Amino acid sequence: MAPQLQFRNVTLGYDRHPAVHHLSGDVGAGALLAVIGPNGAGKSTLLRGIAGILKPLSGAIDLCGLDHRDIAYLPQIAEIDRSFPISAFDFVSTGLWRSTGLFGGLDLKARGRIVAAIAAVGLNGFENRPIGTLSGGQMQRLLFARVLLQDARLIVLDEPLNAIDAKTSKDLLALIERWHGEGRTVLVALHDLDMVRTNFPDTLLLARGPVAWGPTKEALTAENLMVAMRMCEAFDDHAAACADDVATRAA
């Protein structure tokens, strides 16, 4: 499997404080990879680095021919300003910015695609609803609709199944599996170990640095999970960088 992502001794962080350090390895094209680790392990930091939001402090992330515009990045729902006065339709339409431009108009075909994406995530009829009136699960569905429109080869999802109902989680997981079946490369930050063991063939166990990376059954052993917890606890006790990262995640 040819690589779609290559981490070359990459270190990422904030204000020169490392949050992920010395990560090297390849993600194959078409892979479905779970990124797991304790709170403060650097999962969100890594995904922001892949998406180009955060530049490495050292080392490099090679997209293997892709541009950052070729990446569909879904942030944590807490990062979305839901007080902004925008309808569900207009929010999802931002998934077409790559093809239409920031101020480009939407023709009939584009509008049809937006309506179809909203329907595909089970929100048919919600087009004119302000995003501030949506529940957490409905908002997460809307974020997935935007990713659908981006039609990206590389999809990066940050805690997309956190704090939502079981039906929504099942529906969105089916979309993730669909993207994987289409040969797209999908990286998903998660915290539910049982979900990862059941649905994700490969896992990166992260604790500021890599603890294990490979087939999920081999990566998520009790020993590796204990090592990851101890590594993050050590950062909490002795390194300001870990506290900074937790604050950033909560912001």
In a domain, 115, yes or no: no
Please indicate, yes or no, if residue 118 is contained in any of the structural domains. no
Residue 116, domain member (yes or no): no
Euclidean distance between CA atoms 157 and 97, whole angstroms = 19
Place of tokens 């998660």: 190
- The answer to whether 152 touches 183, Cβ cutoff 8 Å, is no
Q: Is residue 49 part of a domain?
A: yes
> What are the angstrom distances between the C-alpha of 235 and each of 24, 99, 117, 213?
20, 43, 42, 21
Whether residue 192 lies inside any domain: the answer is yes
CATH of the domain at 235: 3.40.50.300
Tokens of 146: 């935007």
Q: How far apart are CA 63 and CA 48, in angstroms?
A: 13
26 is a domain residue: yes
Q: Cβ–Cβ contacts within 10 Å for residue 165, how many? A: 12
Q: Residue 11: beta bridge partners?
A: 58
Tokens representing 244 are 């900074």
Look at the chain and report how many structural domains it folds into: 1
Q: Which domain holds residue 53?
A: 3-82+134-144+153-250
pLDDT tens over the chain, length 251 residues: 799 999 999 999 988 788 999 999 999 999 999 999 998 899 999 999 999 999 999 999 999 999 988 899 999 988 998 888 999 999 999 999 776 655 567 889 989 999 999 999 999 999 999 999 999 999 999 999 999 999 999 999 999 999 899 999 999 999 999 999 999 999 999 999 999 999 999 999 999 999 999 999 999 999 999 999 998 887 643 444 433 333 333 33
Domain annotation covers residue 74:
yes
Decide if 122 contacts 59 (C-beta within 8 A): no
Does residue 20 form part of some domain?
Answer: yes
| C-beta separation of 40 from 245 below 8 A | yes
